[in-house]
Chain A
Amino acid sequence: MEKISITLDVNGKLCELMVAPNDTLLEVLRDDLDLTGSKESCGEGACGSCTVHIDGKPVRSCLTLALEAEGSKIKTVEGLAKGDQLTDLQESFINHGAVQCGFCTPGMLMSADALLNENPHPDRTEVRKALAGNICRCTGYAKIVDAVAHASHPHEGCPDCRPYGRSESKGEE
């Protein structure tokens, strides 16, 4: 199939690419840009492992054509941290034990990040609803829900809200 030249704005960088009209955004991210954090698990929009942000909204990159994403701001899991500085949400996932095999984690983080941008203090029901499109087979979701619900501010009585082995300063901002 004939390739077309496009420019994608991914994690704040402009990338010039030649893509086929039927290339999905997920394929281009993984194969052409080496951004393999976004995963393909079902390939049909059911599992959420490929979730990225397009203009701040969580989107299934396996169902999105790369061509459709031109002109939008795309953010992947690799774009969450600033260098080595993780976001509160990422730290919260680590501290609450929300990561097991880790394959669903990038998609979970992107769905959760979009939720927290709209609603920084979601209750557990709101978190469950926001993550209903992301399948996890390992955790039973309990620790993921904790991690998201407690990401913006430490939760009283939660033994995992204070980062392990680090200074007390975390969780204040």
Chain B
Amino acid sequence: MSDHAFIGKRMPRVDSRTKVMGKAKYTADLKLPGMLVGKVLRSPLAHARILRIDTTKAESLPGVKAVVTGKDTEGVKWGVFAYTRDQQFIQTEKVRYIGDEVAGIAAVDEETALKALDLIDVEYEELPAVFDPMEAMVSETELIHEDFPDNINIHVNIDTGNVDENFAKAHYIREDTFVAAEESYFHAEPYAVVARFDHEECLEIWCPNGGPHMKSKPLSNAFKIPLHKVKVRKIAIGGAFGGRSEICPADYICALLAKKTNHPVKIVFTREENTIATRQGHSMITTHKTGVDKNGQVLARETTCYMDGGAYSSTGPIATSVPFLSMEQAYRMESVRYNGYRVYTNKPIRGMIRVHGRGFAVGLDTQLDLIAEQLGLDPVEMRLRNSRQPGEYTSTKSYVGSCAMDETIHKAVETSNWKEKFGNLPAYHGIGIGTNSVQTGFPMGIRGGSQSFIKFNEDGEATVMSGVVDNGQGNDNMLVQIAAEELGLLPEDIHLVSADTETTSSDPGSYSQVSTFVGGQAVMVAAKNCRKKLFDVASKILKVEPDTLVAKNRMIFVKDDPEKSISIKKVVRVSLLNFNSVNAEGGYWPKVDMQREWVKNPYGQMCEAFSFGTTIVEVKVDPETGQVEVLNATACQDVGKALNPLVLEGQFEGSIAMGGQGGMLTEYHEWKDGRCLNSTMLDYKVPLACDMPEISNIIVESIDPKGPYGAKEAGMSIAMSAAQAYAAAVSNAIGVPMDSFPLTPDKILAAIKEKKAQETEA
């Protein structure tokens, strides 16, 4: 394995050069001839019936080219699943949150478009609104969606059996409830979309996306045109973090305006729109009840989670399941019962986010620490006694091939000096550990696999086609690295055509940590197939067997006799002269249980591999202000195989920032009657450079038997475990287990005050 030219090397990314020169084009940078400015009219009310929309004044304003409302949409509804199709792209009957789409406008410039928005006259009948999931379930007022009783959007029930019997056998049981507020992505790039219909009536569209093929299908459905007429184009993307996986109503509105005006249209969201009208993380209330034996091994666990889903389903069934799945992958449990409820409220829509459920994951680890304390165990020992082992099945029957969870714990403990520090730090200093696991994909039906095409050009360079999209995490480089490795070329010899639905095959998208495992593997297979064609030709020229050949540095040579060689360029040209082009395809479809379904049948093989991560954090709390200073963080993950440590470390560090530093200390939304009060970057507090601790990265390689070169995924297990470690460290520092997240200074001060009062009483 060590003789790889590029795999495993610290390779700077191929897309960096255009980005540091300011040349990379993002959607808002595009300019097309005759392009109009699009704007969306949004609901000012949280719950209301639309009685009348009068667009005549707006339409007669000079410079306005088109106005669209729900009447133009034929009532098309979007939902990730057939049973969650509940969101119209423009509302026709009622609005369900402040920000819901009511109309769209295209005008010659922004000033005119904004003026026209004010001229649309909408008459609403305001309806009682609900903003709390617990209230929404018992509310007597009009349902948010009439076909979902009690406003329950999704109920996931998982029961492995024997839960009550095992609780009866337990040596110690405790039950705790944890709450967490909503958080937002705050992508650097506000959402934007450019759309046009070309002379062949094909829809051409550019927008940030988590998978171009996830955009093209709903657009094809909505416009009732075949998939080959929807061309989602590649464009630089300014971050996704789970929030750009689905179609956005603005995509449809922009395309509709383009169709109606026969002009290209561009819509660029304001920062506020990006916060309220894309997706947010779910707020949640989670109760964990855990029973352990004398040794601290978990015999039974019952978890009930209520998630505030906002106004529409989004990825509801997935979002309701993933926090549970991460738990069951990370920790062994004899038996478990899970009830997850995603509840509709009149708030913005919640979807997938980098940390799946702060209240859930962090609550579970906080409880483990409390049980450990009760049993006189070190938190590290508590985790080692319950950690996932390779060769096991999860509670819902997924086989875990590779797993180095224990190694991540041991290495993080060693690097962080846990043993010297835990229990021995000065007052208001604390150290905490978190461990977690994420999946590389899930059963996605016909879109679960990826296929790649590779063609050699006569100059000996290659074009690689793949549906994988790069949101910023480095997927383009990953594909080029793999192709260069297998084809024996240099990275600069590879031209990547990706994330374009006209030229690439279906692909699952860059969410659920699947890009390397599935899309990268597809490129690897295609490149191996292409190399075989090169070797067949080269073997005849060199008069050796094809299996004695290797390709490296633009040359093909005999492994044991490197003098015997020929350039790849020459092989390609010889092949062309013999009427054979050098090209190949290759695909990868993970072997998952296609019968597994989020609600109906949540059992069976989820994906082929799981990553495992441990984070340890040391903090200092100021007891006068409640401010937390993070002294250092240690991030250790079993990634399977590090294809590019430079890129991987960046994923770890970004995960510490979003999952731990921001996610657990400062990031949350504030509300008044369904209106988000901190939707801008001035008001929502994301971590700055001066806030961040020094981070120690540790890469553990378990070499997954199914992953490309043994790779799994990079960074998500750190984002999850970082949240847990931050909370544990703060709880350790102040001597109070925290149960409400994020851990803002007011909560920390209140906890310190209460503890002091209790101590005085005692």
Contact = CB atoms under 8 A, between A and B. Distances in A.
A40 B28 contact: yes
A94 B650 contact: no
Interface string B18-48: 0111111110110100000000000000000
Contacts of A37: 21-23
Given A39-B26, A43-B271, A160 B10 contact: yes
B394 to A, nearest CB: 30
B13 interface: yes
Interface string A36-58: 11111111101101000000000
A78 B22 contact: yes
Contacts of B577: none
A106 B22 contact: yes
A99 interface: yes
A61 interface: no
Contacts, number: 191
A36 B653 contact: no
Interface string B213-247: 00000000000000000000000111101000000
Given A36-B22, A41-B189, A138-B472, A102 B657 contact: no
Contact of B11 (A77, A134, A144, A164): A164
Contacts of B238: 39, 41, 101-103
A18 interface: no
Nearest to A77: B22
Contact of B13 (A80, A97, A142, A163): A97
B686 A137 contact: yes
Nearest to A78: B22
Given A42-B681, A94-B17, A160-B646, A35 B11 contact: no
A109 interface: yes
A39 B156 CA distance: 42
A138 B23 CA distance: 19
A71 interface: no
Contact of B650 (A40, A44, A100): A100
B650 A143 contact: yes
Interface stretch (B196-204, B687-695, B723-731): B687-695
Nearest to A148: B689
Contacts of B472: 100-103, 138
B161 interface: no
Contact of A138 (B12, B24, B28, B239): B239
Contact of A93 (B16, B236, B647, B655): B16
Interface residues of B, number: 60
A48 to B, nearest CB: 10
Contact of A102 (B185, B236, B241, B652): B236
Nearest to B11: A164
Interface in A1-46: 30, 34-44, 46
B649 interface: yes
Interface string A119-138: 00000000111011111111
B668 to A, nearest CB: 16
B443 interface: no
A94 B12 contact: yes
Interface residues of A, number: 59
B543 to A, nearest CB: 33
A145 B691 CA distance: 12
Contacts of B12: 94-95, 97, 160, 163-164
Nearest to B236: A102
**Chain B contact residues, majority secondary structure:** loop
B650 A135 contact: no
Contact of A99 (B13, B652, B661, B680): B13
Contact of A44 (B25, B188, B271): B271
Interface string A71-89: 0000011101100001000
Contacts of A77: 20-22
Contacts of B521: none
A142 B692 contact: yes
A38 B17 contact: no
Nearest to A34: B31
Contacts of A141: 653, 657, 687-689, 692
B295 interface: no
B430 interface: no
Contacts of A39: 26, 28, 188-189, 238
B162 interface: no
Contacts of A104: 188
Contact of B681 (A47, A99, A106): A47
A103 B26 CA distance: 8
A125 to B, nearest CB: 8
A83 to B, nearest CB: 10
Contact of A132 (B21, B241, B688): B688
A90 B188 contact: no
Contacts of B13: 94, 97, 99
Interface centre among A77, A137, A144 (most CB of B within 10 A): A137
Contacts of B653: 139-143
A139 B647 CA distance: 10
Max chain A CB contacts within 10 Å: which of B650, B652, B682? B650
Contacts of B24: 102
A38 B647 contact: no
Contacts of A40: 28, 190
Nearest to A105: B19
Contacts of A46: 680-682
9 contacts: A35-B22, A41-B188, A41-B271, A42-B682, A86-B17, A86-B21, A90-B21, A128-B690, A165-B490
Given A80-B21, A132-B689, 16 more contacts: A41-B188, A47-B188, A86-B20, A90-B20, A94-B17, A99-B15, A99-B19, A100-B654, A101-B188, A102-B16, A102-B238, A137-B657, A140-B661, A140-B687, A160-B12, A160-B646
